[in-house]
Amino acid sequence: MHRDAIPRESTVSEPYAGDITPKQAWEILQSSKDAVLIDVRTEAEWAWVGQVNLSSLEKEHLLVEWNRFPGGMRNETFVEDVAKLVPNQQQNSLCSVGPVCVPNMPPSP
């Protein structure tokens, strides 16, 4: 768990590291060369809402859908997809609607 993460009581059945603010996520990405941002929104959200610009940090965010678009079906290979991209790095995930993502988010490595 990141030292600034806000633990919360919830119905999450798996271990959950906690919430961090966008500012805290930026600071983590800025201060740790190994930290990555994984955008877990859908392809549609990436296209319609936009994507994160990390160019000032000389980093790129990673795109791995948590739910597939269209249809909203769970990405059954999510854990494997993330592990291929960031096998041993600190991971911060971006989700547009926390309650949609968090209850079924896999535990942090």
Cα(108)–Cα(15) distance, rounded to whole angstroms? Answer: 8
Q: Contact, 40 vs 101, CB < 8 A? A: yes
What burial letters (b/e) apply to 67-81, b meaning 16+ CB within 10 Å?
beeeeeeebeebeeb
CATH number of the domain where residue 32 is located: 3.40.250.10
Q: Contact, 65 vs 40, CB < 8 A? A: yes
pLDDT, residue 55, reads: 95
Q: What is the full per-residue pLDDT of the chain (109 aa) written as tens digits?
A: 456 655 555 544 555 566 778 888 899 899 988 888 889 899 999 999 999 999 999 999 999 999 998 888 999 998 889 888 887 765 666 665 554 455 445 554 4
Whether 88 maps to a domain, the answer reads yes
Amino acid letter, 71: G
Q: How far lies 22's CA from each of 18, 73, 74, 84, in Å?
A: 13, 27, 25, 25
Whether 16 maps to a domain, the answer reads no
Residue 91 domain boundaries: 22-104
In the chain, the number of structural domains is: 1
